[in-house]
Chain A
């Protein structure tokens, strides 16, 4: 009906429905992994990147800190996870150049009592923790810098991390610049277990993304998130409102770094083999690209951006790379390398025409979709970029912090609590 009013619980049920459908789809995909390998791989990557993008957005979009250290923190997470999870039996093969440091072997032997899933969780957490400690300590001097100076300093930090990891001095820990391989992947790899082969290869990254992103969203919607936004808007005024700049910037920086590092660990598991070179500035730029394409200051934008960019770059545009002959006619331009040309052009088009990103700074909401559809049906012209961007009407009372659970009194009624 045209006149239906959107109710909060509709959103809840719809979200639940979508979640269930998504879970089902993911499960189906991973069981049929052999037929949909590309889809699985691209979804895995998108999930991991969406986590990094959201945590980068926390800094760049919500706190207004232009930070370009993501690759460095991902490297910390990736290497920690990799070093701790490479199966003991494979270690010597991995460190074939210089051998593995005895203490590290000792640590790994001790840890090998843990079953693999636990070991992985443990490794991810340790990676996050190390990154958090780093973030905390470099934050003290570096976060005082302003805008682009901060950007270049964090970028510098990330490059230093990379250099240290690949330095010959650390050969016996990080395998220097040769990288690490035989990192366990997400899913069950060996047949013979209780679960089918491939099980978990999507659901694990999915739950990881879900929890970390949910956490960031909760932080953003809390009073601390508002303080971050205040800092983004005007540091002087924020400070005058009693917000401790350094403390809050550091908080955002540490949260973002910990989660970025954990995502780095996930990336290591996705890649199965990593090298320091992969964690260069280019990786950070790629993430930045996702964040801005999605919309600075929009969590759903970052997630959308991660999927759109990864799908386009790694999958949809692939056919541009192979020569195509239709009826004896060689389609011009199509050959190796053309995909990236097309990708760059598409990128430019998106930036030029959606200058505030796909989502602007607004978030996805069922209500927005609903209104948009209704508008379309009524033939009201919508303008570009305005699709989901509807301000709420002034409420009769302050909007509640947490959306009401289904069954709670509906909005409109003034209830004093």
Chain B
């Protein structure tokens, strides 16, 4: 592999990793607070793709971006209210099935409404600008993704670590009743989690689809699974962990495919995950808190 090819692969991997990281954070946050693997997250991400397609058909892209973020946030919060909130006191598995149900529903609804055919994702001209450095060529979005990811993540970490809201989120994650006794509005806190997670998914979707150019009802499935793995690998519930996981998976996937082992690219992701879990049973950055006996 020549040096130029190597750099090109790195670029692809890092950019992919950045988008993964943004989605992984959504999984991680919702898990952190509801202990719920939000299977629908991947499909919220997919819907964000469609929102952009529709929005761009009537508005310029500058206006579409906030519309897409807003729309995705509304969708995320709506799902929470309709499918998860009524199940607050239900067994964990029921909520998980509810999440799978929402995921199926979004996929099938999208298939039904927009057909299974891929729809072209609108090109956002500045993001698509070709940048050429020597032999390496890529569009701006490829360079932008990791940078934007890092900035957003720092903001988020600040929110979680340094503010009262962050503390309330961590409290709610352990015990609803006692949190209520502290005066915490748990529903608002949970909604906020979904707002943040969905907004990040929307940003992630813009970056991801701009790079990949088309959306289908099943576009979310594979990245969804990978991002979930990224979240677990990093230590589910931990934001920096999700980011590390995202980049790790983005890079390893790209290189595996590049080396001709594309059958094994997903398998390798999982192998990596299992190996890491064997040495760190709660992921790279996960809190290793067992209840005291």
Q: In the complex, A touching B, CB below 8 Å? A: yes
> In the bound complex, do residue B263 and residue A338 qualify as a contact, i.e. CB atoms below 8 Å apart?
no
Mask, A345-361, CB within 8 Å of B = 1, is 10110011001110000
A157 at the interface (CB under 8 A from B): yes
A219 at the interface (CB under 8 A from B): no
Q: Which residues of the partner chain B approach A141 to less than 8 Å between Cβ atoms?
A: 274, 278
B151 at the interface (CB under 8 A from A): no
- Nearest B residue (CB) for A168: B263
- Nearest A residue (CB) for B94: A355
> In the bound complex, do residue A163 and residue B93 qualify as a contact, i.e. CB atoms below 8 Å apart?
no
Q: How far is the CA of A162 from the CA of B271 in the complex (A)?
A: 13
> In the bound complex, do residue A163 and residue B229 qualify as a contact, i.e. CB atoms below 8 Å apart?
no
- Nearest A residue (CB) for B111: A337
**Smallest CB–CB gap between A201 and chain B, Å?**
30
> In the bound complex, do residue A156 and residue B229 qualify as a contact, i.e. CB atoms below 8 Å apart?
yes
> In the bound complex, do residue B229 and residue A351 qualify as a contact, i.e. CB atoms below 8 Å apart?
no
Q: Which residues of the partner chain A approach B270 to less than 8 Å between Cβ atoms?
A: 155-157, 159-160
> In the bound complex, do residue A163 and residue B98 qualify as a contact, i.e. CB atoms below 8 Å apart?
no
In the complex with contacts A168-B263, A348-B101, A146-B108 CB distance below 8 A = no
By the criterion of a CB under 8 Å from any partner CB, how many residues of chain A are at the interface? 46
Which of A100-108, A204-212, A289-297, A324-332 lines the interface with chain B?
A289-297
B118 at the interface (CB under 8 A from A): no
Q: Which residues of the partner chain A approach B236 to less than 8 Å between Cβ atoms?
A: 148-149
> In the bound complex, do residue B93 and residue A347 qualify as a contact, i.e. CB atoms below 8 Å apart?
no
Interface residue SS majority, chain A: helix
Q: How far is the CA of A164 from the CA of B267 in the complex (A)?
A: 8
Q: How far is the CA of A355 from the CA of B86 in the complex (A)?
A: 10
A285 at the interface (CB under 8 A from B): yes
Which residues 333-375 in A have Cβ within 8 Å of B in the complex? 335, 337-338, 340-341, 343-345, 347-348, 351-352, 355-357
B97 at the interface (CB under 8 A from A): yes
B283 in complex: contacting residue of A149, A157, A357, CB < 8 Å: A149
> In the bound complex, do residue A163 and residue B267 qualify as a contact, i.e. CB atoms below 8 Å apart?
yes
**Smallest CB–CB gap between A319 and chain B, Å?**
15
B100 at the interface (CB under 8 A from A): yes
Q: Which residues of the partner chain A approach B112 to less than 8 Å between Cβ atoms?
A: 335, 337-338, 340-341
Mask, B30-71, CB within 8 Å of A = 1, is 010001010100000000000000000000000000000000
Q: Which residues of the partner chain B approach A222 to less than 8 Å between Cβ atoms?
A: none
Q: How far is the CA of A155 from the CA of B31 in the complex (A)?
A: 17
A145 at the interface (CB under 8 A from B): yes
B293 at the interface (CB under 8 A from A): yes
Q: How far is the CA of A167 from the CA of B260 in the complex (A)?
A: 11
Which residues 136-162 in A have Cβ within 8 Å of B in the complex? 141-142, 144-146, 148-149, 151-153, 155-157, 159-160, 162
> In the bound complex, do residue B293 and residue A341 qualify as a contact, i.e. CB atoms below 8 Å apart?
no
> In the bound complex, do residue B91 and residue A149 qualify as a contact, i.e. CB atoms below 8 Å apart?
no
Interface residue SS majority, chain B: helix
Q: Which residues of the partner chain A approach B94 to less than 8 Å between Cβ atoms?
A: 292, 351, 355-357
A288 at the interface (CB under 8 A from B): yes
Mask, B97-113, CB within 8 Å of A = 1, is 11011101100110110
A14 at the interface (CB under 8 A from B): no
Q: Which residues of the partner chain A approach B90 to less than 8 Å between Cβ atoms?
A: 355-356
Q: Which residues of the partner chain B approach A151 to less than 8 Å between Cβ atoms?
A: 37
In the complex with contacts A153-B274, A156-B273, A341-B112, A145-B102 CB distance below 8 A = no
> In the bound complex, do residue B232 and residue A149 qualify as a contact, i.e. CB atoms below 8 Å apart?
yes
B208 at the interface (CB under 8 A from A): no
> In the bound complex, do residue B273 and residue A293 qualify as a contact, i.e. CB atoms below 8 Å apart?
no
A236 at the interface (CB under 8 A from B): yes
> In the bound complex, do residue B108 and residue A142 qualify as a contact, i.e. CB atoms below 8 Å apart?
no
In the complex with contacts A145-B281, A148-B232, A340-B111, A355-B91 CB distance below 8 A = yes
- Cross-chain pairs A/B with CB under 8 angstroms, 13 sampled: A148-B31, A148-B236, A156-B269, A159-B266, A160-B271, A162-B267, A292-B93, A337-B108, A337-B112, A338-B112, A340-B112, A347-B97, A348-B102
Known: A289-B100, A341-B105, A355-B87. 20 other contacts (CB 8 A): A144-B281, A148-B37, A152-B232, A156-B269, A157-B274, A159-B266, A160-B270, A167-B264, A281-B225, A288-B97, A288-B100, A292-B93, A292-B94, A292-B96, A335-B112, A337-B116, A338-B112, A344-B109, A348-B83, A357-B94
